[in-house]
Structure 1
Amino acid sequence: MKIHKKITIVILFSAGILTGCSTQKATTSQAKGKANRSVSQTAVTIEEPKTLNEGEITKMNYFAEEMALLQCEIKNLDKKLNESPNNDVVLQHKRELEQKFSDYDQQVQKYFTTQLQKQEFNRVYHDFLNKCM
């Protein structure tokens, strides 16, 4: 019986130290309450990088150039369709290019998630787009 009481006191005392309770009379519910509050107040702050690495720049240039070229080709096909609206071959080709552009766009959204990456991609994409138009 005495051993059981000593173990209980040691457990409660240990729980008090671990959770910041100052007395040996800390109850299990007090210890749990303190532990839960300390866990819920923990926050992690993740900062976005301030620069792009070489792999990101290479991937960005590839997608930006490919998408700009696709956009220019789609615009040229639109002109052809204005001249002959019933041209099924041109219409089918345009749809294929639009699908490819959409696939690239989904990959870009997956790869470039930070604000810096998005801004830089848009800048590079518009530079390529202006060159081909």
Structure 2
Amino acid sequence: MWKRLFTTIRYADAESASPRMHSDFEIESQHLDGYNKLSEEMKSFSIIAQAQHINYIKEKLSSKKQLVTRSIPVTIDKVQIQSAKSSMKKEELILIIESLIRSLNETNWPQFQGLKSKRKDELLIILQEVRDLTN
């Protein structure tokens, strides 16, 4: 019975006895299904999720306004659709900028203080600056 199962799933003893080769993350995640490339946001998922979690907790504790969240885009195509700058609200821009800032070196953080007091056009410029620094 076990032999038949192992044959069905194409299990080979030689595979488990030899050391596994770990692929480079970049190569492994470059193509999901041959057509879509993994977005930078998905690669830094834990950083973005942590920033959104902190913002969520702060908003819930202060209960001032409704929280603005966006899903994390998986593919580059989804990023382009989601990041149509003209359709973003000020709160969404701030959320994206804050999540990207967390992926920067801590020495760059102070230059992006006081985002909530900035106008939308200023936030769009800051967003581009942060994106340039992350690339």
- State TM-score, norm by structure 2: 0.28
Larger Rg: 1
Return the TM-score normalized by structure 1: 0.28
